[in-house]
Amino acid sequence: MSDEEDTTILLNSATRTIETSISKVPNDYQCLPPKTLRKPLPKPNDNLTPLTSGNKNIFVSMVAILAGIAFGSDMGIAKPIAPLIKHEFNLNCFEKDFVISIWFVGALVGGLTGGFLIDSFGRRWVMISTLIFLTFGATLSALANHYILLLVARIICGYSGSVSAIAHCIYMAEVSESNKRGYNIMLYQLGTATGFLVSVIAAAIKNIDYQWRFSIGITAVPALAACIATIIFLQRSPPFLLYKRMANVSKTSSKKAWYTIFETLTIMAFLLILQQGTGKRQVLYYAPRLFALLGICSNVAEVTALISLGIVKVFSTMLSLVIVERCGRRTALITSATICMTTISLLSLLATIDRGDDNLDVVNNHCKNHHNEDVKIHSILPTGSPPPFPLLPTPLAIVPPSPETWTQIKSSCEVYFSQLFTSITRAGLNLLTFVLSQTQNIAVSEGLTGGLRILAVITLLVYEAAYALGLGPVPLLNLTEVFPAAIRGKCISFVSIVIWITHIIATESVSAMTRSLTLAGSYLFYSFMCLVTIFYVFLFIPETKGKSLHQIAQELRKIPLGTRICNNLRSLPLICHIQWIKKYDENVSNGQSTLI
């Protein structure tokens, strides 16, 4: 019995043989010719195309890279070209930000529905259709001549990109050998990092006509190439075909099987929440400030920071291709989180010395915290002219002011109270800084010196490299390995909803956390989250390196969570002799002690 056969039977709690289970033709295959139905059941280790040998399918890798480039470039292009779109369509700041946010709304909708499409129609069909829609959406974005049409195109791109990412990762996990599965999925992550870098470079080119249209439409090229390669060279996923042909398997699932799935789903969802809480958005928020301190003009500091971080991310993802298969998933995650915790703690100290919180909004977003300095009494009069009786109180309530005027007043009040709150919270941090300066002779009055500025930028780049080494790509790899084939799409789709929601919350809360906790305080919080991630990965995340999907599913089903935690604790030299751990292992039924 193959790996995926046993996984599907495990999910449905059936004991019938495969020959009995396919005696009845499923409804999905009623329209197929009889010869197609009489073909032998595919096996996971069969060659996928006539041009492959020993399951070394170069076309799977090629499609993974092309699809990743299309996804990364489309996701990362909106923010760099947002000022150009604002100028093209005469948008206000809210409308400009909405062009960026609408993509993530489409991605969230894709997470809601993508899993059902993948499990119902197949991985390959969804891959082809989403790549077609992504090509159409990118082309429509480049040709849009109206703001509403651009929003429609962006939401199409977000939806198709999100579903395409889920389908591609599932397909690559199911058609790869156990020792090549991580490599193929990490190639998709490498393509995503490369696409993000390409989008930033394309947006930085200034000497071409229709710059933003060219930058946003370039996504259609790799998407169309990946679609054509999928149609010509890739066949349907063998585990999916096997699952669809098992028509007579009982649909009644045991409580233990569903409990195992729910337990795994919860563990992976919390891992993704911790991933978003390790400070990636906050570090990107501070990056333009650090590059500006090196003497780079503030107008190009953000682009320079994005390009530098993108290059580091690409090379670090290349290194992770080797680490996940040689050292393991858990090792990559723990190492990555440890380096991130160290570097972001150092950034907290440097941010305390720098005290450049006031310049962050100016460097990052000219729309935020912006208010009109000319809002005076005469500007809210009905005609804008001086009052007819200057010695009498000005009758401000004779005519209601316009909505734009109320917006200006509200913005001014928000800025005032925000600055007041920031000053109060900063007073405590300044007191701590003063104590440190008196005890350790840290010069804080002049900010970061030349050597500290270089150290801050190097620390920033090391953090980005560490994040791309494990915390960024490895959780998605774990998602494709720990769920049964029958509901793999639905489970990953549910977790992807958690990813996009936490991504939106983390992105939108950066400014608020900086104002309330200061930059150094928010970095300390994210450093603590990295520490929590280290312990969480060590205790709960299984090691899947070199194991088949069937073996992973069997271990998750047969070995209780408490036993897996105790086994992980026993791997520590200082804890392996604790008596309650030994007693717990003795009381576990069936004597399971395999370290997962």
Q: Is 49 within a domain?
A: no
Q: Does 584 lie in the same domain as 520?
A: no
When pLDDT is cut at 50, 70 and 90, the band that residue 404 belongs to is low
What local confidence, expressed as pLDDT, does residue 574 receive? 56
On whether the CB atoms of residues 472 and 154 are closer than 8 A, the answer is: no
**Which token pair is 452?**
């500290």
Of 236, 270, 304, at which residue does a domain stop? 236
456 in helix, strand or coil? helix
Query: How many CB atoms lie under 10 A from the CB of residue 542?
Result: 20
- Are residue 217 and residue 310 in the same domain, yes or no? no
Q: What are phi and psi of 446, to 5 degrees?
A: -100, 5
Q: Within this chain, do residues 443 and 477 fall inside the same structural domain, yes or no?
A: yes
Indicate if 104 and 121 belong to the same structural domain.
Answer: yes
The better pLDDT of the pair 153, 571 is held by: 153
Residue 546 belongs to some domain of the structure: yes
Q: Which range is least confidently modeled, 94-108, 183-197, 393-407?
A: 393-407
Residue 349: pLDDT band (50, 70, 90) is: confident
| Same domain for 442 and 521 | yes
Is the same domain home to 162 and 111? yes
Residue 304 and residue 548 in contact, taking contact as beta carbons nearer than 8 Å: no
Q: What is the pTM of this model?
A: 0.73
User: In the 3-class helix/strand/coil scheme, how is 188-206 assigned residue by residue?
Assistant: HHHHHHHHHHHHHHHHHCC
Answer yes or no: do 207 and 274 share one domain. no
In this structure, are 203 and 301 located in the same domain? no
What's the confidence (pLDDT) of residue 363? Answer: 45
**For residue 562, pLDDT beyond 70:** yes
Under DSSP, is residue 44 helix (H, G, I), strand (E, B) or coil? Answer: coil
pLDDT tens-digit series, residues 7-38: 444 444 433 433 444 444 444 334 334 444 44
CA atoms within 13 A on the CB side of 254: 11
Residue 87: in which H helix or E strand, if any? helix 78-89
> Does 292 lie in the same domain as 154?
no
Whether residue 392 is contained in a domain is answered as no
Identify whether residues 300 and 324 lie together within a single domain: yes
487, 119 Cβ separation under 8 angstroms: yes
The closest alpha carbon to 571, from 556, 581, 584, 560, belongs to 581
Q: What is d(CA 54, CA 420) in angstroms, rounded to the nearest whole number?
A: 67
C-alpha triplet 132, 133, 139: angle, nearest 5°: 95
**153/189 same-domain check:** yes
Residue 4 lies in a domain: no
Given a contact cutoff of 8 angstroms between Cβ atoms, the answer to whether 186 and 91 are in contact is no
Does 360 fall in a domain?
no
Sequence-ordered alpha helix ranges (H) in 327-370: 329-354, 360-364
209/469 Cα distance (integer angstroms): 37
The tens digit of pLDDT for each residue in 191-245 reads 999 999 988 888 887 666 577 888 898 999 999 999 999 998 888 887 777 776 6
Quote the pLDDT of residue 359: 52
**In degrees, to the nearest 5, what angle opens at C-alpha 40 toward C-alphas 36 and 45?**
120
Is residue 74 within 8 A of residue 161, CB to CB? The reply is: yes
Assess contact for 479 and 492: CB atoms under 8 A.
yes
- DSSP single-letter state for residue 40: P
- Comparing CA positions, the residue from 174, 231, 246 lying closest to residue 28 is 246
The structural domain count of the chain equals 3
39-43 CB contacts, 8 Å cutoff, 24+ apart: 41/241, 41/242, 41/245, 42/238, 42/241, 42/242, 43/2, 43/238
**Percent of the chain beyond pLDDT 70?**
65
Q: Domain end: 188, 203, 236, which one?
A: 236
Supply the range of the domain harboring residue 462: 260-354+424-558
Numbers of helices and strands, H then E, in the chain: 25, 0
Q: Name, in order, each residue with C-beta under 8 angstroms of 369's C-beta and a sequence gap of 6 or more.
A: 361, 414, 415, 418
- Tell me the torsion sign for CA atoms 153, 156, 157, 158: positive
pLDDT exceeds cutoff 90 at 384:
no
**Cα–Cα distance, 480 to 165 (Å, whole number):** 11
The pLDDT tens digits for 51-107 are 444 444 688 889 999 999 999 999 888 888 888 888 888 888 888 888 888 998 899
Q: Please state whether 408 falls in left (phi above 0), alpha (psi between -120 and 50) or beta.
A: alpha
Within a domain: 304: yes
Do 74 and 138 meet the contact criterion of CB atoms below 8 Å apart?
yes
Identify the pLDDT of residue 491. 87
Residue 43 in domain: no
Q: What is the DSSP letter of 398?
A: S
The answer to whether residue 417 is domain-embedded is: no
Same domain, 208 and 312: no
CATH code of the domain containing 313: 1.20.1250.20
Is the pLDDT at 144 greater than 80? The verdict is yes
All residues at 6 or more sequence positions from 531 whose CB lies less than 8 Å from its CB, including other chains: 337, 341
Tens of pLDDT, residues 291-329: 776 666 566 677 778 888 889 999 999 999 888 888 888
End-to-end CA distance of the chain: 23
Residue among 536, 531, 493 nearest 271 (CA): 536
Size of the chain in residues: 596
